[in-house]
């Protein structure tokens, strides 16, 4: 079948097709389609901000062209009095553009401190739970190039290692679910253009200007650095070089786990031999963290300081017992056992 005939069989609603005729929108969509490259059903996380609304439009076109089913999930954190009203309005706006969505709500008491970090974890938790329920393996999020730079600087300020510095990637995994970020090479201003051009609306969260949050302070610092001549292309090259180095470490982490850890006869128990801890420290740290997440069935890695302490104990003592990440960790002579708590 010719491309012309194929396009004729794909029925993109006229309202969406007309928006796609815009030269800039079409160019961004073409880039998006080449970047995504998936042929399975997926979920799209929507907050109502310009980034996620742009993603919703692009993903809807993609799903029609590829004949895929997509679930659009709006997250209502209930952190602001108007959040529920906004979520319902976003749902109505999306429906006008043939995008059916569902609102997921963060219920219960809200934290007083570290709000942005905890809200992010809760958002991931809601999306992952829904993905598991629906049997879907791919979740699309709207992180973009500006987020990539902000994340890098924030991780530097926190003293993160290599893995932390490059933690925002186009594809990562939490358990058996793929987290995809197809907008990571696009600038926020381009996504704002799509949101405004297509929907004529997006939620403007006032916390995005509140300097009590570290991310906002970093964002304003980056803006000033760019005015002073920061070359973002070189910045991207640096991040890519670090990612190449990270791939080497991942290879040795996988090798260490494969060669020096073994499932015991008991369910949910792994035995580590002495050679497991004879590798370079970063390899040991990541290998150990991965296995604790596997046995403990955790979405997120365990806290670094606690893990560092246990690794230190393994070199000092022939016997000890500790708990971490939903696991019981026991050292007996030269072997170490990890089992479900």
Q: How many domains does the chain have?
A: 2
What is the residue range of 256's domain?
245-340
Mark whether 192 and 328 lie in a shared domain.
Answer: no
Please report whether residue 55 resides in a domain. Answer: yes
Mark whether 156 and 193 lie in a shared domain.
Answer: yes
Domain closes at, from 230, 256, 279: 230
What CATH number does the domain containing 185 carry?
Answer: 3.40.50.620
Mark whether 215 and 264 lie in a shared domain.
Answer: no
Cβ atoms of 283 and 251 within 8 Å: the answer is no
Domain closes at, from 230, 254, 280: 230
Please report whether residue 268 resides in a domain. Answer: yes
Mark whether 179 and 42 lie in a shared domain.
Answer: yes
Cβ atoms of 10 and 65 within 8 Å: the answer is yes
Cβ atoms of 128 and 175 within 8 Å: the answer is yes
304/284: higher pLDDT: 284
Dihedral angle computed from the Cα positions of residues 195, 198, 203 and 209, in that order, rounded to the nearest 10 degrees: 30
Q: Residue 222 has what pLDDT?
A: 84
Provide the pLDDT confidence category of residue 9 given band limits of 50, 70 and 90.
low
The residue count of the chain comes to 341
341/138: higher pLDDT: 138
Mark whether 128 and 196 lie in a shared domain.
Answer: yes
Report percent pLDDT > 90 for the chain: 54
Mark whether 174 and 45 lie in a shared domain.
Answer: yes
Provide the pLDDT confidence category of residue 6 given band limits of 50, 70 and 90.
very low
Give the pTM.
0.83
- d(CA 24, CA 58) in angstroms, rounded, equals 13
- d(CA 186, CA 190) in angstroms, rounded, equals 7
Please report whether residue 235 resides in a domain. Answer: no
Mean pLDDT for 4-28 is 83
The contacts of residue 96 (CB under 8 Å, 6+ apart) are 15
Mark whether 196 and 226 lie in a shared domain.
Answer: yes
Please report whether residue 90 resides in a domain. Answer: yes
* pLDDT value at 333 more than 70: yes
Provide the pLDDT confidence category of residue 299 given band limits of 50, 70 and 90.
low
Mark whether 199 and 307 lie in a shared domain.
Answer: no
Residue 243 carries which DSSP code?
Answer: H
Mean pLDDT for 265-288 is 90
- d(CA 306, CA 320) in angstroms, rounded, equals 15
6/35: higher pLDDT: 35
Cβ atoms of 260 and 272 within 8 Å: the answer is yes
- d(CA 102, CA 98) in angstroms, rounded, equals 13
- d(CA 138, CA 170) in angstroms, rounded, equals 12
- To 10 degrees, what angle do helices 145-157 and 188-199 make? 140
Each residue of 307-332: pLDDT tens digit?
999 899 888 887 889 998 889 999 88
The contacts of residue 150 (CB under 8 Å, 6+ apart) are 215, 218, 219, 222
Mark whether 258 and 223 lie in a shared domain.
Answer: no
Please report whether residue 239 resides in a domain. Answer: no
What CATH number does the domain containing 269 carry?
Answer: 3.30.465
Show the DSSP H helices in 42-114 as ranges. Answer: 50-66, 83-96
Task: Count Cα atoms within 13 angstroms, Cβ side, for 180.
Answer: 21
Mark whether 252 and 218 lie in a shared domain.
Answer: no
- d(CA 274, CA 295) in angstroms, rounded, equals 19
Please report whether residue 103 resides in a domain. Answer: yes
Mark whether 144 and 255 lie in a shared domain.
Answer: no
Cβ atoms of 338 and 294 within 8 Å: the answer is no
Mean pLDDT for 257-270 is 87
Domain closes at, from 201, 230, 259: 230
Tally of helices (H runs) and strands (E runs) in the chain: 13, 11
- d(CA 118, CA 78) in angstroms, rounded, equals 13
255/175: higher pLDDT: 255
Are β-strands 335-340 and 327-332 bridged in parallel, bridged antiparallel, or unpaired?
antiparallel
Mark whether 255 and 199 lie in a shared domain.
Answer: no
Mean pLDDT for 25-31 is 96
Please report whether residue 126 resides in a domain. Answer: yes
Please report whether residue 240 resides in a domain. Answer: no
Q: Residue 224 has what pLDDT?
A: 84
Each residue of 111-169: pLDDT tens digit?
667 677 777 888 888 999 999 999 999 999 999 999 999 889 888 888 888 888 888 88
Each residue of 180-228: pLDDT tens digit?
999 999 999 999 999 999 999 898 876 667 677 788 898 888 888 878 8
DSSP string, 94-133: HHHTT--EEEEE--SPPPSSSHHHHHHHHHHHHHHHHHHH
Each residue of 41-96: pLDDT tens digit?
999 999 999 999 999 999 999 999 999 999 999 999 887 778 899 999 999 999 99
């Amino acid at each position: 079948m010719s491309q012309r005939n194929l396009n004729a069989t794909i029925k993109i609603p006229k309202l969406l097709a007309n928006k796609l005729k815009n030269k800039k929108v079409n160019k961004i969509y073409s880039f998006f389609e080449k970047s995504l490259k998936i042929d399975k059903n997926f979920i799209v996380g929507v907050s109502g901000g310009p980034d996620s609304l742009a993603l919703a439009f692009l993903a809807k076109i993609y799903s029609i062209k590829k004949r895929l089913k997509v679930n659009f999930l709006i997250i209502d954190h209930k952190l602001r009095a108007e959040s529920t009203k906004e979520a319902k309005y976003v749902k109505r706006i999306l429906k006008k553009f043939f995008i059916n969505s569902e609102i997921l709500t963060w219920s219960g008491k809200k934290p007083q401190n570290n709000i942005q970090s905890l809200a992010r974890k809760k958002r991931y938790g809601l999306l992952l739970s829904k993905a598991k329920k629906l049997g879907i393996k791919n979740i699309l999020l709207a992180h973009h190039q500006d987020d990539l730079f902000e994340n890098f600087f924030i991780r530097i300020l926190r003293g993160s290692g290599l893995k932390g510095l490059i933690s925002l990637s186009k594809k990562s995994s939490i358990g058996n679910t793929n987290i995809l970020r197809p907008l990571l090479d696009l600038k926020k201003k381009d996504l704002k253009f799509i949101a405004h051009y297509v929907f004529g609306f997006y939620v403007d969260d006032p916390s995005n200007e509140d300097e009590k949050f570290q991310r906002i302070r970093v964002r304003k610092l980056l803006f000033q650095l760019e005015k002073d001549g920061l070359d973002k292309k070189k910045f991207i090259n640096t991040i890519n070089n670090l990612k190449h180095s990270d791939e080497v470490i991942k290879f040795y982490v996988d090798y260490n786990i494969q060669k020096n850890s073994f499932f015991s006869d008991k369910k949910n128990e792994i035995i580590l031999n002495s050679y497991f801890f004879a590798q370079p420290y970063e390899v040991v740290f990541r290998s150990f963290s991965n296995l604790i997440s596997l046995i403990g069935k955790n979405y997120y890695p365990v806290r670094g300081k606690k893990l560092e302490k246990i690794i230190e104990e393994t070199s000092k003592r022939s016997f000890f017992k500790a708990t971490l990440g939903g696991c019981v960790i026991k050292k007996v002579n030269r072997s170490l056992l990890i089992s479900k708590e």
